[in-house]
Structure 1
């Protein structure tokens, strides 16, 4: 399955870069978030690949959900797709936007890919471990290497959202003695933890499951974990929530080699 995820993500990345290089047209969705034709083209490509290979597995994809197309996932394994995470970065011509695909089994992200086409890198995670891939201009993988979270001593290095910082995040960094942090967009924050470039990613802002699942899968495969504020691993497949919409995440903290 992970090989198919890789093929689909690379194909989607090619379409995204075509739009990126020519300049996107931007529209605003009902939730006030931006969307471009790159999101839509990439999602169509990914869904086509998934439908052919895994026709019986439900797929929850960001733009399809926005259009009211929400499959039944209760009690089932399913796939989460964010065709273009970091749309604001994409629109502003920053290169830290990603393609995200993840498999959820019993509420756990067990396999996923995060592909940053403008950076020429991808991250894979599964029960077999985590890898970082180098992708050339022809969308060919030229190198693969195993990655893992780091064990560290002293003050942790944090990674924080470029577009969604908050007072709660600033307080967390202060309370946990964080003296240095990296600012990056999209699900690459999880990947920096997974490859040992940082130690903690606090998120005190709203996210959806398709925003986090692939990066979370990579992080868990590399030896890290994402915890809700209750101290439990972040679950997936959250529907019929009393205080939020289906597939919305609570606040969380993702940890590399040190968990609190």
Structure 2
């Protein structure tokens, strides 16, 4: 393992899953209450659940990997911006509550996202949806779905080949441009358009319930790093619209538009 990480990959995985579960439990305690919704400087919503989850995740990661930098959404919003490089650094990428709008709507489609980035590439990640008791993990040994918190059911997951009926395209439940999506899909045979919240969209492709997720709108690295790790471990691909590799550690952490897909989905790259 890289310098600063435990030599035992299983211990790292177990520690990461435990941290995500503890953060999810804190989120669910607040989910049951009449919580306050505030606006950040970029007009995006934030709740005490975002902050409570981050207050668990950051100390947990520091105890697990004391020498590894952490880039976390709420800390960055507060001005704590670690200096990381896509070319050289290993760092944790954290969204303590991805899908805050879904949390506010109380539809269950929100997640805890934690990814380990190694020189621009997500090599391990956990996406935990506490309200629906689904935890996705991706790492060097593949991708898994763990369902039911009290009596866990563990399933290995992987992307699928396109069904004869056509692709299932997943898109944002709270964001998106239907006309841009229609233009992007062109003549591709589409079986179903399926909305989903948070990084669950990437996980649906990873587990073979969907085939394609074109993101033609704004995202930040912490929104998708963990889901990207799960999808890559499941045999999937995340790439820029021109087909170039998607990297992390960019200036400002803002993402370009991207495509997440099963390799069996044909795409026409844009210049």
Q: TM-score with structure 2 length normalisation?
A: 0.90
CA distance in structure 1 between the aligned counterparts of 2:211 and 2:39, rounded to whole angstroms: 34
1:162 corresponds to: 173
Contact preservation (8 Å) 1:152, 1:257: no
State yes or no: 1:151 paired with 2:191. no
CA distance in structure 1 between the aligned counterparts of 2:185 and 2:192, rounded to whole angstroms: 9
State yes or no: 1:31 paired with 2:37. no
State yes or no: 1:64 paired with 2:75. yes
State yes or no: 1:107 paired with 2:120. yes
Unaligned runs of 5+ in 2: 1-11, 267-271
Shift of 1:153: 4.0
Unaligned runs of 5+ in 1: 240-245
Query: Cα deviations across residues 86-129 of structure 1 (Å, max 9, x unaligned)?
Result: 00000011111000000000110010000000000110000100
CA distance in structure 1 between the aligned counterparts of 2:253 and 2:36, rounded to whole angstroms: 27
CA distance in structure 1 between the aligned counterparts of 2:44 and 2:161, rounded to whole angstroms: 37
Contact preservation (8 Å) 1:157, 1:199: yes
CA distance in structure 2 between the aligned counterparts of 1:168 and 1:226, rounded to whole angstroms: 19
2:210 corresponds to: 198
Contact preservation (8 Å) 1:158, 1:173: no
CA distance in structure 2 between the aligned counterparts of 1:195 and 1:255, rounded to whole angstroms: 11
State yes or no: 1:184 paired with 2:190. no
Q: TM-score with structure 1 length normalisation?
A: 0.93
The aligned length equals 251
CA distance in structure 1 between the aligned counterparts of 2:37 and 2:81, rounded to whole angstroms: 24
Give runs of aligned pairs for residues 1-260 of structure 1, distance below 5 A: 1-74=12-85, 75-136=88-149, 140=150, 142-154=152-164, 155-166=166-177, 167-239=179-251, 246-260=252-266
Contact preservation (8 Å) 1:8, 1:49: yes
Shift of 1:135: 3.1
CA distance in structure 1 between the aligned counterparts of 2:187 and 2:44, rounded to whole angstroms: 31
Contact preservation (8 Å) 2:97, 2:111: yes
Structure 1 runs of 4+ off > 4 angstroms?
Answer: none
Contact preservation (8 Å) 2:162, 2:265: no
Match of 1:59, SS? strand
Query: Cα deviations across residues 189-215 of structure 1 (Å, max 9, x unaligned)?
Result: 011001100100000001000000000
